[in-house]
Structure 1
Amino acid sequence: MNHSTRRTRSVVFAGLALLGLMSAVYAVRRPLLMSAPRCLGGHWHGCYDTENGVVLMMLVGLPFAVLLAWALATWRRAAGAVSAWRSSLAEVGMVYGTVPMVWLTLMPGPGAGVVPGRLSLVPLRDLATMGPIGIGGNLLIFAALGFFAPMRFAVLASLPRILALGAVCSILVETAQYVFQLDRVSSIDDVLVNAAGAALAGLLSRRWWRTAAETRSDQRHRASVAVE
């Protein structure tokens, strides 16, 4: 496959992803806009403590995230780094796409601090009660991490490792929910679906995964820059 064909496929993929994002935003535009007055007015309550508000501000901040990735890539290219755009986009993407989702999962319920932590350790028992929206949301929590992490770190460029990364991160979140008594159920099914979401997202980015050879090339470049 020549460079022109790869570039065309990348443009098509980016266009489809953007179209999907715009369609999703349009579908949920009304609940998101309900939080707009509080969020744009700089109020914490009614914005950052609500799911709609967090998602809205995540979308509003998307252009700034793209600008940050561009700035990092420009700096890396000026320094002669390998895969400057991919590394920069991966770093910004896995942080920007994961932190708000984790924030949503750690948002306290109405009985936070009063209701004791609850555990559900029987696999697949809670899956039937999640519903399509619950399952979809759990798949997305670490999707950005699963998609971008292997693009940045060669050590994570394998499906079992991405699955393990998603599972470990999910266990940490579920543990925090239980320890801090956030009025949420810490469920093994959440861990399973979170990890599956990370793995599925990783499969989508497989053709851009970082290789060990690229890592060694970057290390040699940093060493040469340090010597100079």
Structure 2
Amino acid sequence: MRDHQPVAQVWQSWGQVIVVSVLGLPLCAAVVWWRATAGHRGRGGRWLGAIAEVGLIAGTLPWLWMVMTPGSEPRSVRLVPLVDLYDVLRGSADTAVVQVVGNLLVFAALGFFLPLRWRLGATAVGVIACAGSVAIETAQWTLDLGRVSSADDVLINTLGAVLAALVSRPWWRRRRAEPVT
């Protein structure tokens, strides 16, 4: 969370990720269509599963690209929870919004779509997102990417996934009654 980038710098820093993600949308739609229709003509339940599979991957990869892009700070670890968050919230509002919202969105697609594809609840999504976030923070430190590995990033990434899972709850609660294909 220490890479303080105000909103005005987001496009400059991440414009290439945004462009590639938007250009990849037609490919994502084609993969959804292929997964939903290949050998399963007429089975409407396959559409939700195909959308969930593609959505969780396509919605998470751009964020992984961003958080694994080398930064400019010296490598460090911050294990005390809420210290980085406090520092960010004490700074400029632009930086706080970019940092907090960005970290909430890292695993939001995974959190939204995982229960739609597999019979998982919000707790399981939280455990998976927490493990994924710990893996990212560990990789950032191990690969010396010039980023701060922070316990707060793990907390906020996990919270984003759980909140997204709860938003998708009306659909995954319905899905639990259907057989998994």
Is the TM value for this pair above 0.5?
Answer: yes
**Once the two structures are superposed, what CA deviation does each residue of 1:24-53 show, in whole Å capped at 9, x if it has no partner?**
xxxx8x975x7xxxxxxxxxxxxxxx4211
Normalized against structure 2, the TM-score is what? 0.83
**4+ residue runs over 4 A deviation:** none
Amino acid at match of 1:72: R
After TM superposition, the structure 1 stretch with the greater mean CA deviation from structure 2, 121-130 or 194-203, is 121-130
3-state DSSP class of the match of 1:163? Answer: helix
d(CA) in 1 for partners of 2:157 and 2:82? 13
1:65 corresponds, among 28, 50, 53, to 28
What SS does the aligned partner of 1:119 have? strand
Equivalent pair of 2:72/2:147 in contact (CA under 8 Å): no
Match of 2:50 in 1: 88
Structure-2 separation of matches of 1:94 and 1:181: 27
Let me know the Cα RMSD of the aligned residues: 2.2
C-alpha separation in 1, matches of 2:178 and 2:20: 38
Instruction: Note the alpha carbon deviations across 1:56-105, whole angstroms, 9 max, x for none.
Output: 21012112212211121111532x65611001001100011111111100
Which residue identity lines up with residue 125 of structure 2 in the other structure? I
1:123 pairs with one of 68, 81, 91: 81
Secondary structure of residue in 2 paired with 1:99: helix
Distance 2:117 2:39 in 1: 14
CA contact (8 A) 1:76 1:84 kept: no
Q: Are 2:109 and 1:140 equivalent residues in the alignment? A: no
Q: Please tell me the residue identity of whatever aligns with 2:78.
A: S
Residues 188-217 of structure 1: per-residue CA shift (max 9 Å, x gap): 0000000000011111111221327512xx
Secondary structure at 1:97 match in 2: helix
Structure 2 runs not aligned, ≥5 long: 1-6, 89-95
Greater RCO, CA 8 A, separation 6+: 2
- 1:181 equivalenced with 2:144 (yes/no): yes
Q: Do the aligned residues in 2 keep the contact of 1:162 with 1:198 (CA within 8 Å)? A: yes
Residue 123 of structure 2, aligned match among 152, 156, 160: 160
AA aligned to 1:152 is R
Decide whether aligned partners of structure 1 residues 123 and 151 sit closer, same or farther in structure 2, where only a CA change above 3 A counts. same
Q: Secondary structure at 1:122's aligned position in 2?
A: coil
Distance 2:111 2:98 in 1: 20
Instruction: Provide the aligned length of Structure 1 versus Structure 2.
Output: 166
Aligned counterparts of 2:87 and 2:28: Cα–Cα separation in 1: 35
Distance 2:82 2:151 in 1: 8
Conserved 8 A contact 1:82-1:214: no
Change (3 A) 1:31 1:141: closer
Q: Give distance in 2, aligned partners of 1:161 and 1:77.
A: 29
Name the CA distance, whole Å, in 1 between partners of 2:159 and 2:83. 17
In 1, Cα distance between equivalents of 2:52 and 2:178: 18
CA contact (8 A) 2:108 2:160 kept: yes
Residue of structure 2 aligned with 1:100, choices 58, 62, 74? 62
